[in-house]
Structure 1
Amino acid sequence: MLSFFRGFLRQRGSVLLLTGLLLPFVIGVTGLAVDVGNLYLTQSRLQNAADAAALAGAADIRDDLIAHRTTVQGVKANHSAADNVAGGYVDDNLGKDVASRGYDVPEASAAQLQYKVSLTEDVPLYFLRVFGADKTRSVGAASTAAIIGKGKATTSKHLFVFKDGMEEVNSINNPDNMNIKGQISSTFDGDIAYTDGVTSGAPDYTPIANPSYFPPNGIQYSSQNANLKYFFTKQAADENCSVTEAEANGYGHQANYTAYDMDALHRQVTAMTQVRYTNGKNPDSSEAIFDQNTSTAIYIKEPNVNLSVNRLPGSDTHPNDPVYLNIDDSIGVVNINVNSDNVRPLVVCYNGKGEIHFNMQGHTFRGIIYAPNSPKILCNAGGGNFYGSMIASGLDLRNDRGHFFYEDFDASSGSAATGGASSDYEIKLL
């Protein structure tokens, strides 16, 4: 019996010794679990708050874009309103003691409009300090929300919209005699409008009819005859009318002022999902990359853009779904050569300040040529047919036997009468 108690005491002493040796390790592991768990919970709280704030800020930007209270460029320059909304969500979720917070509209690789929220908080360490750790550990979280255009982009409800001037060359044959049959060479079926570039207020100017060659604030119905004051419809040409007969039959129409937001299409196209064109050659609309849905834009940033327009992929299965091109603003001159009928509409969005050289070469083009800051879209029809819209500061039409028809590729508009709705945009976390 005595030997039993001696063995028990020896074992107990060993256990106590082992416990003493392991106790710091147990405390350390326990402390690590407590402090790491606290860090994890804090990071989760920060991430949830950042997600909610990014979505709220993006929604505020979307609402301002729809209401025309700002533009894409305006958002990038000043997003304080969205910051205030996002900050309210941070305060509601975390209180006002967050160590630091940041709000930004980052430059995405393909000009997609994004809103980013970054948060950090200093978390106290309770147990790990015993082992030499700092008293606090900084924890951060960030969230980015994208504002993506859905469906078809906001477009004009006009055949042409210009701001600084428009000239029409070769609109009539035999300009010296208005009574010769078959004079109508180029025709225009659709509203032609000049604008001051905003959706409210009185026009800044009324274009001067037929001034000298392509001046600011001027419009030439015919560069050959200063007395011509109308554009004529296709019916006038089909009936082999003289200018006098076309005017008498009501086949003529004039350019009128419209309140139009010149930045509308650019806002929506840049907010779409962007697919970068990387083929390293002049783009051709027959390439497979051009088979995109109506919420995606093909982003092109090549040293020079010489776009060949041919029949687009998907022309048989979805011939009325537009394909959107977002050409980088830095491109100097954009050349568009129509080599065959494209069938499926092509929307070319270029917000730079270079010229657009658009050659239809006798083919039929469906789509929109949108260049609101371009001093001139130089269009050579060459007997071709155009269906859609052109929007630019200046329009220079060289149209021997060219025929232009307005076609609507959208249910919304950049005009004052209609506009986008929140359903036109999708907001999602990246």
Structure 2
Amino acid sequence: MKINQGNSQRGAFLILVAFLLPLIMAMLGFVIDFGNVYWHKSVLQNCADASALGGAKAGDVGKEFNKGKADGMADKLLAVNKRYDSKKKSYQYLGSKSDPKNTHYYVVTLTENVPMFFLKYFGYKEMEIEASCNVKIQKTGSGGFPLFDNLITFSKRLYVVNSDDKTFKGNIIHTEKNVVTDVAGYYEYYKDGNRAEMPRDKARLHTPDGSIWPNDPSYYKTEYAVALDAPQNEALREYIKGLRKDTPQTPMVNTQTVTADMLKQSVTYIYDNDPNKRRVSEINIDKDFDKDPNHTHVLIITDGAVNLKFNSDVTSKLFIINLSSEQFAISGGGRVHATIYAPNATSVVWNPSNLDFYGSIAAPNIEIQASTRSFTHESPNISGGAVSSNSSMSLADNEDIEW
């Protein structure tokens, strides 16, 4: 009896195909289902990231984190960015294990039920997935800009006269090694009531810890920089760039004077393509235009030899960004809360009388004259108006979160 070997082989092959085909289809079904899950998970994670970052920024608008505003913004961003049936599982504002005073986390967790195409035939109609994003919110005290953590920051020269008339409460930092420090009017007092002015190479500034500056090498710090284009000031540069882009321009028509009334809005940007309109010669603050100490008002100037006159107290926080390359002269009196940033100025000439200053000054060359009574460091509260956050923010893992 003869057996047809070809027919036998074909029969075995058909049996093998019949056996493997369901396995191949099952594997293909698994690939399709889990590939779909992976795609939905990626989309859900992007939604969580956007909602967490936007929510954290919206909530960090004052001294205390506003979770209601944060959650509201997170909901809005979820509605805008979601592509499938993504839902909120939880929005949390949590503490830090390592730095509970200054660091918190805004955590967004989203969930979604992803439909199964193949596994539904085995009783699995859908698979629940989650995505979380942790945003680290770290208070910096300076609106996110370390440069203004100092009372005075200079890169070329600091000149102080009538040293005995002034007190300085805060760090005085120079950012380049070979700078000029010139302090005059410093006296030593004797038991018999007499006094003698010390030579400038032995002069000091009066600080809360005694008259110790400037002979301490710790006052030279390269982590700070005055120049706006320096790598250390990248965040500040982007912040100013954003303000200049988003703020309506205020032209100077028939005047070169900025008045107190012009500063009532959160941001005032003096610039116009016509060079005859954008030059500023004077800022005259003749009234306390906002008496809420939690508000911040930003003034940006791009051109002009500016004379700033404090003819009134300033209760709110004034942040003056003077990008002009000419001299910046300051005079007046009162009780003033302000941050002065003039990275391109030939010099900042400080000449008020009977003025108590609370804030920060940063410029290449600073000359402090006249009889200002006191200089006390105060960080700019950038979150005090509708301007920006008072914290640095970044994505983070779970390690430091106090659950």
More strand by share: 2
